[in-house]
Every structure is written in C-alpha cells, then in structure tokens.
Amino acid sequence: MTPSAAAFPESPRTNWFTAIVLVILHLGAIAALFMFSWRNLAVAVFLYWIATGLGISLGYHRLHTHRSYKVPLFLEYFFAICGAATLEGGPIFWVATHRLHHQKSDHPGDPHSPREGAWWSHAGWILQGEAGHNRTSKMAKYAPDLAKHRFYVWLDRYHWVPSVVLGLALLAIGGLPLFLWGGCLRIVFGLHATWLVNSATHMWGSRRFPTTDDSRNNWWVALITFGEGWHNNHHAHPASARHGLAWYEFDLSWIEISLLRFFGVAKSIRTASVHARLQDREAA
C-alpha cells in the first residue's frame, strides 16, 4: 500500500488533468529558453522570490504550517496568495499535506517518502497519490486553523486564480516571451525546487540530528529554496522559524523574518535554542 493510500482509503489513480497541465508547463519552460532576454530572466527571478520565497518558504511552510512566527492577518493572506501562484495547490491542501508528512515522516502514511521510490517522493505522489486530487474536505481536518477562515477555504478551492491573473498580466505587458519566462519556466523551476525538498533532502546530505526519519541537510537544495534544504534541522525542530542553525547554513527566509521582526511586523518568533542544538549534536 502506498503512503497516500494508507492516509486516504481510496485507491490511488492517475490525475490526468494535473499530468496534462504539467506537460504543458514543461513544454512552455523549454520554449522559454529560446526566447531569452535579461528582462525576462529578471522578471522570472523576481516572481520566483515572490511566489516560492514569500509564498512557500515564508508563507505556506514556516507561517501557515508550523506557525513559527506571527504577522498581521493581511500579510498572512498576502503570503498565501503568493503561495497559490506557484500552482502547488491551495493553503489548506499544502499545509495539511505537510503536517501529515511530519506526522508520518518516512513511515507508512507519509504522502511523499523516498522509501516508496525517488520518483514517487519527487512528483509521483502528485500524479498518482490521493493528495494529487486535492480533496479539501478530507485534508481540512489536518489544517483546522486554516479551514475556519473563509478566505483560505475560497483560495484553496480557486488556488489557480492567482496564476491565471499573473499569466494574463505577463502576456499583456511582455507578450509570449515574458509569459513563458515569468509563468511557465518560473513555475516549473519552483515546482521542482520544492519537490527536491521532498525527495533529495530525504536521500542526500548530512545529518546533524538523530531524527526518526531520513531527513538530511542539503546545501544546494537550500540555496534554491530560500533555506528549506536544511531539512534535518527542520525535522529536529519543526516549529523553528530558523532552519539554517549554523553560521554557514545560509537561510534567506530566516534573514527576511529577522528583517520583519526588526521593523516590528513579525512577532512571537520561535527558534531552536543553542542548548537544544548542542544536546542533539552530542546525542548524534
């Protein structure tokens, strides 16, 4: 039985709509490479930071899933909109899936463990697992704090709206080349970067903490995911807003949270203590 089947009783089946959309996005990303310009690259990088950096790392993951810090509700909503622009699903779906991952990490019930195969953990779970069908009614029980917000329920149902609106804006401003770079290529790169946290950081890298899963710290995944690659640190201290615990573990999202704290925007920030780190390091 696959992890998703263990978490949700229905038999997994291929989500052909998702598969077709992913194929189209990948074709668009390849086409973008033949329409290079520095402007297109700059727009893609900026939107990647907005969507994956603010939306996934700062928003969906550290704020919405783990509640490792607090910001005003309007900013919390803004981060959620940014996260939806990645086409990784709505906030309730994403948060519920990740909380389930922590609860069952690399054990039966984990939606995307490499123990079921590298491809499964990277993208197979989206294409064939029950999570790929985005069943909000079933996932909501894992994210009751979000499900009580009408905004999050709406955004989860219509999570594709931000991407469509952004895509139309890119077409209007810069035509097909800007759409392919800021839309297709940016989304595809963001998807694979996030999926690498599910796959690569449970297969390759170092382990500072003796967690009960296979999580690892992977520097190159951390570089392209704003610090999410320090995954063993994260699984040892999931509520910590800081993932890069050592001075040499670059964590851009933590720097941004620190800036928000400096300006009085972010509060109640939770971080792993030095004492806990030293204790766990000695135990390893």
Total structural domains within the chain: 1
Its pTM surpasses 0.85: yes
Take residue 246 and report the two structure tokens written for it: 């050592």
User: Residue 141: what pLDDT?
Assistant: 87
Cα Rg of the chain (Å, integer): 18
141 is a domain residue: yes
Take residue 89 and report the two structure tokens written for it: 């699903």
Model pLDDT for residues 181-240, shown as the tens digit of each residue: 999 999 999 999 999 999 999 999 999 999 999 999 999 999 999 999 999 999 999 999
Question: Sign of the CA dihedral 195, 42, 50, 240?
Answer: positive
244 is a domain residue: no
Residue ranges of the chain with pLDDT lower than 50? Answer: 1-11, 133, 274, 277-284
User: Residue 276: what pLDDT?
Assistant: 58
Question: Which residues span the domain enclosing 16?
Answer: 3-205
255 is a domain residue: no
Neighbour-count burial for 183-214, b at 16+ CB within 10 Å, e otherwise: bbbbbbbbbebbbbbbbbbbeebebbbebebb
228 is a domain residue: no
